[in-house]
Amino acid sequence: MTREPMTEHELEATLADVGDRLAYPRPAAMADAVRARLREPRSRRWWDAFVAPRFGLVPALATLVLLVVAIALSSTSIADRFLRLPGIDIFRAPSVSTTPGPSATPRFPGQRVTLEQARAQAPFLRVPTDARLGTPDEVYLDQTQSGTQRVTLVYLSRAGVPVSPNAGVSAIVVALRGRVDEALFGKVAGGGTRIEDVSVNGGRGFWLDGAPHQFFYRDETGNIVTETLRLAGNTLLWEQDGVTFRLEAQVTREDAIRMAASFR
Amino acid sequence: MEGRPTEDAVLVERSRHGDHDAYAELVTRYQAIAARTAYVITGTAADAEDVAQDAFVKAFYALDRFRAGAPFRPWLLRIVANEAINRRKAAGRRPTVGLSAALDRASGDTALSPEASALAHERRELVLEALRQMKEEDRLVIAYRYFFDLSEIEMADALGVARGTVKSRLSRAIGRLRAVMEGEGRDDA
């Protein structure tokens, strides 16, 4: 046997060597096996009833339970799922479930605040000064899963801007600190959605029209935030000084770009 | 972007929405390292494959608890390692595991002189025997670093410890490995 203790370098090299030579299993068809197991009915636990969307709960109780769970787990994706707008939790994938969420979920995520409160708590916020939109009717403030603040401005009904059948409002604006991750973005939008590169306020933006869809932001901490477009309408997305803005409204591309130019 | 493999985050997100094809892609991507990680703990290839498969199924149902944007691989490995450790405990943990290696494989040592080759072989046997006797947790830390070449950040996530403690864990594991090799008794004695 080796008498002298190995030097650090010798030990590390030997470990790497052993690691290369271990008689590891060589799984071949694990994906098929896992897929088959996922198709099997899963033994249900009592608490699954509370998170299974097809389980019919008394609406008032459901609202209470969901809100309590959502608040308790506000930093998790479960809360995020509950807070999505009903019916448009849509992801462009071949076998996606588009089961609507509980009917009592809030229409927009976060806490209802005044515009002044939103400005005070999210100093990065800019709002459109375009006369067609005017002052927002509702303002919501919430946090993404990693704690980045997000502001949603809601414009209920505006002359010349059709009301979206999906959300019952004319336009929304969402602002959060973060950037659009093009690599991810390009992967998830598509299909029924057209994406065009556009110039917004001298910077780069994207114009999306067509089917509703989800996409991702990468927030200021680098985490990926999933977002569902809420109006199923046309959307202008752009980034300005480290803040991502999104304007959803059934207007033309040129109109949207003009509205974006009015953000102050 | 064309031709590049789809990002894990996208596959995870699709999987969360019930897309089994997307999840199958993640399984294919990580089945090798999952099975290897399980093997380091269980020491038998058949158990390791079962563990990895169970871990993938559990991970699928746990995707709601996966933090969006976090790397998938270390999160998965944590589930694999837990599953493997539980499996060993349930089976009545034996003091040593049966890790084996193709120690006499011809490749690798061909450039060495016969003496150097013999020495390398001896060292590998010594290290492997010590690894067999160590606690799973120590073996895992060593494997993540030296077998699978995980970054410190990935190791922290996979082990579920603070990033600042990875180095000290590794160094303690190496210290215990040396102690076992130098005949100072079994690590967990």
Q: What is the mean pLDDT of residues B142-152?
A: 95
Query: B46 or B55: whose pLDDT is higher?
Result: B55
Span B61-86, mean pLDDT?
91
pTM for this prediction: 0.51
Q: How many Å apart are CA B174 and CA A5, to the nearest integer? A: 13
pLDDT at B166: 95
pLDDT at A73: 36
**B11-37 mean pLDDT:** 94
CB contact under 8 A, B182 and A24: no
**Percent of chain B, pLDDT > 70?**
86
pLDDT of residue B79: 95
Mean pLDDT in residue range B101-123: 71
For an interface test with B, the pick among A88, A146, A185, A187 (most B C-beta atoms closer than 10 Å) comes out as A187
- The confidence score (pLDDT) of residue A113 equals 92
Give residue-wise pLDDT tens across range B20-30.
999 999 999 99
B21 has a chain A CB within 8 A of its CB? yes
- Predicted confidence at residue B116, as pLDDT, reads 83
Cβ-nearest to B14 among A22, A34, A91 = A91
Q: What is the pLDDT of residue A82?
A: 27
Pair B79, B66: CB distance under 8 Å: no
Query: How confident is the model at residue B29, as a pLDDT?
Result: 94
Report residue A54 as tokens: 């097809």
Higher pLDDT, residue A213 or B60: B60
Helix ranges, A157-197 (H)? 182-188
Burial degree of A236 (CB within 10 A; 0-12, 13-18, 19+): buried
Q: Which pLDDT value is given to residue A66?
A: 39
Q: Which residues of B touch A16 (CB under 8 A)?
A: 146-147
Cβ-in-10-Å burial (0-12, 13-18, 19+) of A208 comes to buried
Residues A118, A175: contact at Cβ < 8 Å?
Answer: no
- Selected residue of B51, B99, B121, B127 to mutate for chain A interface (largest A Cβ count, 10 A): B127
Q: A9 in contact with B at a CB cutoff of 8 Å?
A: no
Look at residue A152 and give its three-state secondary structure: strand
What are residue B166's phi and psi, to 5 degrees? -65, -45
* Nearest chain B residue (CA) to A22: B101
Tell me: pLDDT of B47 over 50: yes
User: How confident is residue B114, by pLDDT bands cut at 50, 70 and 90?
Assistant: confident
- The alpha-carbon gap from B93 to the nearest alpha carbon of chain A, in Å, equals 20
Write the Ramachandran bin of B185: left for phi over 0, alpha for psi from -120 to 50, otherwise beta. Answer: left
Interface of B with A in 114-143 (CB under 8 A): 119-120, 122-124, 126-128, 131, 142-143
Regions in chain A scoring below 50 on pLDDT:
1-2, 44-106, 183-190
